[in-house]
Structure 1
Amino acid sequence: MEIRQLNSEEFEISLSLSEYAFQYKVSGEDKTKAKSRFKPERVWGVFEDGILGAKLTLLPLQVYIQGRAVNMGGIAGVATWPENRRQGLVAKLLSHTLQTMNEAGQTLSFLHPFLIPFYRKFGWEIYCEYKKYTIPIAKFPLKTEISGNVRRNLFDIVILDELYTQFATQYNGTLKRDKDWWEHAVLDQSTHNAIFYSLVGKPEGYVLYKIEKSELVIDEFVFMNEQARQGLWTFLANHDSMVTGASLKMVPSDDILPFLLPDPRIDQENYPYFMARIVNAKAFVENFSYRVQSAQQKQIINIEDKHAPWNDGLWEWSVNLEGTATLIRTDGDNIEADLSCDIGTLTVLLLGYKRPGELSRFGRLTGNDAAVQWLEGIIPQAQTGLFDFF
């Protein structure tokens, strides 16, 4: 058995496995484009006697954590031929990939799970969710007099990205986008965009949408203030002769649109989305910003991580008066942990998806009450989100 990166001549076998596993077909011009964008160094495969049995793609990405860009390894396209399944090939790939990410300084890893329990076994945990709304035209937000104007289909990626970045950095776990990502993963030929400008000409929000089967399909709705939100909704409501309603996807979990509607009784859905995993606990904990305390404090934490042994074990976790931390490995048979959790739980604690107290109540975080309250005190409140897919 060999685990290695693919080479440029292995595009066809990689594509064939993806087509079979994900049940789609690429041909003609689309296949030519896919081949031109094929980056074999990002695809890791398990080979038996030179034959590809399983593969995954490791994407070098960055996400915003506390408003700062952090290196993240995005795992995508995990695929196995049916005759090779349940032989531990994906487990071997994931373990190898964790080591690769650690060596590359990617302190976090994200993936979209085909089966959540499967990836939980390897340390990934759900870290965000999104809402979906279906709103009939009669229940749209009321039209208002706009103090500004909306410009449609400018496709100015610089402006879109500036607005997106201001919005995205309010959340932990959102993707830092570059021009290539905007062009190939966000915008396509069927996507319209509308940008709201204030009276002084400042862009303050945008909406990405499609019109499908007499419905507005809204992929992203980004606004910097209430004026922009109302202005964009008035623009959308002016489609009332063309559509019967709107479907909003990837709505942040802290959104309160239904409360603001004249009639809040609309179809709503909460959807657990991506999973996250700390790759290197020491690096992540020490680059995180904590609430300032009245005195330097420390606790002993036991981190359980059998798939990344450099994280597993007892650590002394201290936070100083400036809100920065150190995580120092602690050895000794007589040392008892004040706190204990697995790497997935530590991930969602620090990202802000769940709070220490609630995880303690349900047994995901164990420890004495004082240590749990210490975590409650040092970890800032935060919202998580992700508006992309890979």
Structure 2
Amino acid sequence: MNEIRTLRQEELPESFSLSEFAFQFELTPEEKTERIGWTDPNQVWGYFVDGALAAKLTILPFQTWLGGKSFTMGGIAGVATWPEYRRNGMVGQLLVQSLKTMKEAGQTLSFLAPFKFEFYRKYGWEIYVDYLKYEIPLDKLPKFQAAEGSKIVRIAKNWELLNPIYEAHAVRYNGMLIRDEFWWNQRYFKFKKGTAAIYCNPQGEHKGYIFYQVKDKVATIHEMVFLDEEARRGLWKFIADHDSMIEKVQLNAPIDDALPFLTHDPKFKQEKITYFSARIVDVEGFLSQYPFDAREEAEPVYLRVSDSRADWNNGVYLLEFYENGTAAHVTKLAEGELPSDSEALSCSIQTLTALLIGYQNASFLAQTDRLQGSSELVRRLEAAIPERTTYLSDFF
């Protein structure tokens, strides 16, 4: 007999054994005991065959920033199947179940790290973020000077000191996690070794931080956060002062990062990495929260959405923009109220996700036939969507 359900507490060891096998890592008995201790079995969904766990995934409860607003998000993680059960559609069924579960939990959005983008696109997830991966030799490090009176203060791994700086940084992007104490201590600090230091400006304000490790002549910057240009320069000056210890620096940065333009020699290794995928779980709920940026004279838009894996999303939505331009009144139309095709824009759930999370704009999606409708309707919708870079500096 086949069954899809959440795990029981006593089934968690088998779930972790499957993860170890699928993702090729090994936990010590102590590490496994610790992880079992803080894992909620109700967040782990399993596909069982005759009582045996064959496949599983976890839905992690997160919040993410989008347009400066907090959105509840379900993070899909730990998707795995034992080899003897693969290619039987089990993961697909678990993903469909996860959509129902996330909708019931009010998680209007979902993120995951795809092993294969093509596979998850079949279930409605779409690319939402790229980042830049830098490898900078010592002689090409920025030649910045720190502001007079500023200082760098080394600190313990103290999430309460770092989190206010992180939040002021993260809210500027679409798709960053809202971190809590558990995430900082059990997922961020725990799996990354190194040193944390805060940048204090001449007025004594905390305007940036760096978390990094120096090993084998390489400075690996796990995270560099700066809230203004002065902090950027001060942090890079700090890294450059490690010149007797390092030969190169490695770090990741948002796709719109301006460091190459600011350095004296930008001919260092720069690689664009396509990272996570996103999916709108509940179109009506998501649209009702979305921070549109429409002007007072903005006319309404009809939007026809197709979703083959979550039928509750199929339909036409009327977006009527409020005068203050910070949201929209959203109405899902009944069959008798549907407009003609010429009056509406049409797209898939993947396209809608890429559009509203800010990964692609409406004009490009229309040019590539991912968004169908008149040029006037495309222009109208594009004008209502605020421009903001997507980024994610975490992993799950």
| TM-score (normalizing by structure 2) | 0.95
Q: Say which of 311, 314, 331 aligns to 1:312.
A: 314
| Offset from partner CA, 1:12-67 (integer Å, 9 cap, x none) | 21111111111122123222322222321111101121111110010011001111
Amino acid at match of 1:379: I
Equivalent runs, 1:119-198 vs 2, <5 Å: 119-147=120-148, 148-188=150-190, 190-198=193-201
Partner Cα distance (2:290, 2:339) in 1: 26
CA contact under 8 A between 2:73 and 2:111: conserved in structure 1? yes
CA contact under 8 A between 1:355 and 1:376: conserved in structure 2? yes
Amino acid at match of 2:201: S
Partner Cα distance (1:140, 1:347) in 2: 37
Tell me whether 306-315 or 123-132 shows the greater mean CA deviation.
Answer: 306-315
Question: Taking structure 1 as reference, are residues 97 and 200 closer, same or farther at Cα in structure 2, changes over 3 Å only?
Answer: same
Does 2:219 correspond to 1:216?
yes
Question: Taking structure 1 as reference, are residues 144 and 295 closer, same or farther at Cα in structure 2, changes over 3 Å only?
Answer: closer
Does 2:213 correspond to 1:207?
no
Partner Cα distance (2:357, 2:135) in 1: 29
SS in 1 for 2:336: coil
Q: Say which of 340, 345, 353 aligns to 1:347.
A: 353
Does 2:267 correspond to 1:265?
yes
Amino acid at match of 1:231: G
Does 2:340 correspond to 1:336?
yes
Partner Cα distance (1:62, 1:294) in 2: 30
Instruction: Identify the residue that residue 389 of structure 2 maps to in structure 1.
Output: 383
Amino acid at match of 1:335: P
1:333 CA drift (Å): 8.9
SS in 1 for 2:313: coil
SS in 2 for 1:282: helix
CA contact under 8 A between 1:300 and 1:336: conserved in structure 2? no
Partner Cα distance (1:334, 1:16) in 2: 51
Instruction: Identify the residue that residue 378 of structure 2 maps to in structure 1.
Output: 372
1:270 CA drift (Å): 0.7
Partner Cα distance (2:242, 2:288) in 1: 50
Structure 2 spans left out of the alignment, 5+ residues: none
CA contact under 8 A between 2:57 and 2:79: conserved in structure 1? yes
Partner Cα distance (2:355, 2:278) in 1: 11
CA contact under 8 A between 1:304 and 1:313: conserved in structure 2? yes
Instruction: Identify the residue that residue 229 of structure 1 maps to in structure 2.
Output: 232
CA contact under 8 A between 1:107 and 1:283: conserved in structure 2? yes
Aligned alpha-carbon RMSD (Å): 1.5
CA contact under 8 A between 1:295 and 1:320: conserved in structure 2? no
Tell me whether 275-284 or 285-294 shows the greater mean CA deviation.
Answer: 285-294
Partner Cα distance (1:130, 1:334) in 2: 40
CA contact under 8 A between 1:165 and 1:176: conserved in structure 2? yes
Amino acid at match of 1:133: Y
Partner Cα distance (2:319, 2:147) in 1: 52
Does 2:299 correspond to 1:300?
no
CA contact under 8 A between 1:297 and 1:320: conserved in structure 2? no
Q: Say which of 339, 358, 363 aligns to 1:357.
A: 363
CA contact under 8 A between 1:73 and 1:108: conserved in structure 2? yes
Does 2:101 correspond to 1:97?
no
Question: Taking structure 1 as reference, are residues 322 and 19 closer, same or farther at Cα in structure 2, changes over 3 Å only?
Answer: same
Instruction: Identify the residue that residue 48 of structure 2 maps to in structure 1.
Output: 47
Instruction: Identify the residue that residue 15 of structure 1 maps to in structure 2.
Output: 16
Partner Cα distance (2:158, 2:273) in 1: 31
Does 2:249 correspond to 1:246?
yes
1:145 CA drift (Å): 4.3
1:389 CA drift (Å): 0.2
CA contact under 8 A between 2:319 and 2:330: conserved in structure 1? yes
Amino acid at match of 2:375: D
Structure 1 spans left out of the alignment, 5+ residues: none
1:237 CA drift (Å): 0.7
CA contact under 8 A between 2:298 and 2:380: conserved in structure 1? no
1:143 CA drift (Å): 4.3
Partner Cα distance (1:45, 1:326) in 2: 38
CA contact under 8 A between 2:128 and 2:357: conserved in structure 1? yes
Question: Taking structure 1 as reference, are residues 227 and 17 closer, same or farther at Cα in structure 2, changes over 3 Å only?
Answer: same
CA contact under 8 A between 1:134 and 1:267: conserved in structure 2? yes
SS in 1 for 2:295: coil
Between the aligned residues of both structures, percent identity stands at: 43
Amino acid at match of 2:173: Y
Equivalent runs, 1:67-86 vs 2, <5 Å: 67-86=68-87
Question: Taking structure 1 as reference, are residues 81 and 60 closer, same or farther at Cα in structure 2, changes over 3 Å only?
Answer: same
Partner Cα distance (2:391, 2:229) in 1: 20
CA contact under 8 A between 2:294 and 2:385: conserved in structure 1? no
CA contact under 8 A between 2:301 and 2:381: conserved in structure 1? no
Aligned length: 389
| TM-score (normalizing by structure 1) | 0.96
Equivalent runs, 1:55-66 vs 2, <5 Å: 55-66=56-67
Partner Cα distance (1:62, 1:51) in 2: 33
